[in-house]
Structure 1
Amino acid sequence: MLISSTAARVAGFFAASFVPSSVALAYFPVFLAGRGLSGAEIGILTALPMILRVTTASLLGLFADRLGDRRRALVLYAFLSLAGVAALWPATGFGTLLLATLATWAFWNGITPVSDAVAVSVARRGEGVYGRMRVWGSISFVVTNLWVGGIVAASGSEVVLRLLTIGMLMQFAAAFLVPSDRTAGEPARAPATPTREILCDLVADRRLAALAIGSALLQATHAMLYTFASLYWGTLGFSGSQVGVLWSTGVIGEILLFAFSGLALRAVGARGLMALGAAGAVARWLLFPLIGASMPLWVAFQGLHALTFAAVHLATIQLITATVDDRRAATVQGMLASLNGLAMATAMVASGPLYAAWGGRAFWAMAVVAAAGTAMVTIGLARPVPRPGR
């Protein structure tokens, strides 16, 4: 099936928006260290985006839905994020860098839930496949990470800010290409407190609540991976380039599942994808400390990232956000982002002392979290999930 121009424009925005995300995730701490911050101060500033996601993503999604045209929200959030990055340029001490970081991520955290809502809306209208649009974000992330690594190594920490600014400019420009929502200009039917109503709906429907909580727990199991996998692979004797290959292999698996998401959904359905992702998470973290130092085995094993991240993400999009009226899609996406952020932040905080005490065996704790997530999604999958208009 040929990709529609609408889907291509959304895919283009995903690609552009993941450029600054890749730069910030991997190299923002390098920039902060270059500005003279201590390890404790760097830890605070790198945790700040996660805290903001928990507290602001729901509100940003709600505001996007109330605007009526979510493209306008993306343009606004991209502009304000760019303005925040501009404030990083003159910042030097911890206080000014703290304020500039707050200004940057306060609205940047609204980009992902709103762009996901736009993509779901496009898929709902039959103008594209969500996974085929979202895959360009993952591709962009990998390409940017490989490209930026060499530049930072050759040019030093200050180049990170220049690259982040370029990425933000690309994101801002691409936001204008996102198609307007077809519901734009229609009268809003949201009540005075829509967030509370949607949250009450989600909690009241045990199936949807269980799926949302289970999905958040399954995604939170990656906290130990993101924080300590590189250190753990180093203890096994792998070089920096080998560690890079292992990270890339995991993302390649994610890319492949997104690219063939339509085929996967036709084959096993969203419920099947969720079940595979949950089972894969339990198996992945149980086996993680037992693999040993075999590079070929690790390369194959990292392919499970396609299940533990991509399959769970795709299934969540299909089973939860696609059941909600389109005018509230960004609100629900924001709520899910906040829930995921809370679960991930909690798991990251716990990962430090667990890894310090147990080393590689600490990944078994993530298997316990995965088992809890599996139990929750099993409850959610026990009955069919309602369709939009419920």
Structure 2
Amino acid sequence: MALQLFTRLSSSYFFYFALLGLVTPFLSVYLDGKGFNSLELGEILAIITATRIIAPSLWAMLADKTGRQLAVIRLGALLALLSFTLLFWLDSYWPITLSLALFSLFWTAILPQLEVLTLTSVKRSGKIYARIRLWGSLGFIVFAILAGQLISVFSFQAFLAVGFILLILLLLSTLVLQQPKQARSKVIEQASIWAKFFKLPFIIFFIAGILLQVSFGPYYSFFALYLRDLAYPDYAVGVLISLGVVAEIIVFIYAGVFFKHFSIQSLLCISLAFTALRWYCVGLWGDSVWILSLTQLSHAFSFALYHSASMQFISNYFSQAQQGRGQAVYLGGVYGVGGAVGAYLAGVLWLDGQGASTAFNFAALAALSGAILLLFLKEKSHAISLKE
């Protein structure tokens, strides 16, 4: 693979996930700074997350029909930038919610198509994909730590400045990408995708993914506020989240090794089981920095291993002409439905910090349910062989 292509793809992942490193831990801090309570915060996060349910599929239909994933990526980056910029002039509940919903609507157009473009460019090599994707993890680490420091010095308003700069850099990085050449498949292949959505293996895989995202609700919505309530220093949020992402990077580097020795079903099931244990420990022993650090290391299973296995499942389950819509339905449904339900329930259960343990126990139960469900995923129906 040419170094230039590797660098260009890696830079887009870096800035996309750098923005995620800002939004995931610190959007709640920004909204809290605006004076919203935990229920309102949960509602806002649920609304903006719900845009992922339909939006990715709509964008993917356009991308699959035209075969121009790159055009969709660039348009999404531009419109996300414009929507986010509106936040500089907004203060009340509904205008902020609308602006964030629009931002999410366009931002979600980027990742499914970037995944398809990357997997096509590297000829579906799991090893090369994982090494490109790890640059996204590096971006997440750098800006989770940096944003935490900037917010502690300049207040929650620094969230907007950092987000604006990252969106500009993301847009610029997409301008140097190239659309890979690929053979176009026949229309009959596109029509058959709906049958695949309703086959039992995909349904099990899909519901388990939703349960995983539901379990992330308290973590994504309130982890920064949880640490603040437990009297951790300001920098602890970025450091602890980055610790998890370091473990994630290691998994991305050695993903091929896991796939050689374990089935897809085993990897998905193990990932959810570790996630259930993770949330139980966070809710019970969150005041112990050592236990909290160990739970963060399990992010290697909760996200990296699960994500790598999921991307390979999607890449091999759907045909080339269906990749964009397959990615969009999975990412949109799982992250949209699961994320929205998880955020809303976390907001209901959190009670401004009084219900933190209850929220994390519920998260553990959701993840455990997903692990049990995956035990019924048939091996032969989704056999996957990674290319090295």
**TM-score normalised according to structure 2 size:** 0.85
- Residues 13-24 of structure 1: pairs in structure 2 closer than 5 A: 13-24=12-23
Note if contact 2:193-2:318 (Cα within 8 Å) is conserved in structure 1.
Answer: no
Q: 1:295 to 1:97 in 2, by over 3 A?
A: closer
User: Which region of structure 1 is more displaced relative to structure 2, 155-164 or 300-309?
Assistant: 155-164
Indicate conservation of the 8 Å contact 1:211/1:320, yes or no: no
For residues 251 and 56 of structure 1, the distance between their equivalents in structure 2, rounded to whole angstroms, comes to: 27
Distance in 2 (CA, whole Å) between partners of 1:43 and 1:281 is 21
C-alpha deviation, 1:200, in angstroms: 3.1
Within 5 Å, give how 1:45-194 maps onto structure 2.
Answer: 45-91=44-90, 93-126=92-125, 129-183=128-182, 187=184, 189-190=186-187, 194=191
Q: Determine which of 201, 206, 209 is the counterpart of 1:207.
A: 201
CA deviation string 1:36-77 (max 9, x = no partner): 664476555443320111221221122222221211211111
Letter in 2 for 1:11: S
8 A contact 1:56–1:338 mirrored in 2: yes
Given that 2:280 and 2:361 are in contact with CA atoms closer than 8 Å, whether structure 1 keeps it comes out as: yes
Hey, what's the Cα distance between the residues in 2 that align with 1:251 and 1:206?
32
How far the C-alpha of 1:127 sits from its partner, in A, is 9.2
| Residues 182, 305 of structure 1: alpha-carbon distance in 2 compared, 3 angstrom cutoff | same
Q: CA RMSD in A?
A: 3.1
Residue identity opposite 2:302 in structure 1: T
Matches within 5 A, 1:1-390: 4-29=3-28, 38-39=36-37, 44-91=43-90, 93-126=92-125, 129-183=128-182, 187=184, 189-190=186-187, 194=191, 197-203=192-198, 205-233=199-227, 238-291=232-285, 293-340=287-334, 341-356=336-351, 359-385=356-382
Hey, what's the Cα distance between the residues in 1 that align with 2:85 and 2:127?
A: 35
For structure 1, list consecutive stretches of 5 or more residues without a partner in the other structure: none
For 2:369, the aligned partner's letter is: A
Tell me if structure 2 keeps the 8 A contact 1:68–1:188.
no
Of 140-149 and 122-131, the range deviating more from structure 2: 122-131
SS of the equivalent of 1:124 reads coil
Go from structure 1 to structure 2 and tell me whether the alpha carbon gap of 1:336 and 1:182 turns closer, same or farther (over 3 Å shift): same
Question: Retained in 1: the 8 A contact 2:145–2:239?
Answer: no
Check 1:97–1:234 CA distance in 2 against 1; reply closer, same or farther (3 A cut). Answer: closer
**Per-residue displacement from partner, 1:294-320 (whole Å, max 9, x unpaired)?**
422332232111112211111111123
Identity of aligned residues (%): 22
* Separation of aligned partners in 2, 1:289 and 1:26: 17
Q: Secondary structure at the match of 2:342?
A: helix
Letter in 2 for 1:369: A
Residues in 1 aligned to 2:106 and 2:305: alpha-carbon distance in whole angstroms: 27
Shift, 1:32, TM fit = 5.4
Please tell me whether the aligned partners of residues 189 and 321 of structure 2 are also in contact (alpha carbons under 8 angstroms): no
Cα pair 2:79 2:103 within 8 Å, conserved: yes
> What secondary structure does 2:382 align onto?
coil
Is the partner of 2:380 in helix, strand or coil?
Answer: coil
Q: How far apart, CA to CA, are the structure 2 residues paired with 1:133 and 1:125?
A: 12
* Contact 1:69–1:181, Cα closer than 8 Å, also in 2: no
Distance 1:249 1:73 in 2: 33
Aligned-pair distance for 1:10? 1.5
Q: Distance in 2 between matches of 1:86 and 1:351?
A: 28
| Post-superposition offset of 1:8 | 3.0
Structure 2 residue matching 1:182: 3-state secondary structure: coil
Is the alpha carbon distance of 1:128 and 1:151 closer, same or farther for their aligned partners in structure 2, counting shifts above 3 Å?
A: same
Q: Distance in 1 between matches of 2:96 and 2:208?
A: 36
What is the count of residue pairs matched by the alignment?
A: 381
TM-score, normalised to structure 1, is: 0.85
Q: Deviations over 1:10-34 (max 9, x none)?
A: 1111002223333333444555566
Structure 2 unaligned residues grouped into runs of 5+: none
Change (3 A) 1:4 1:267: farther
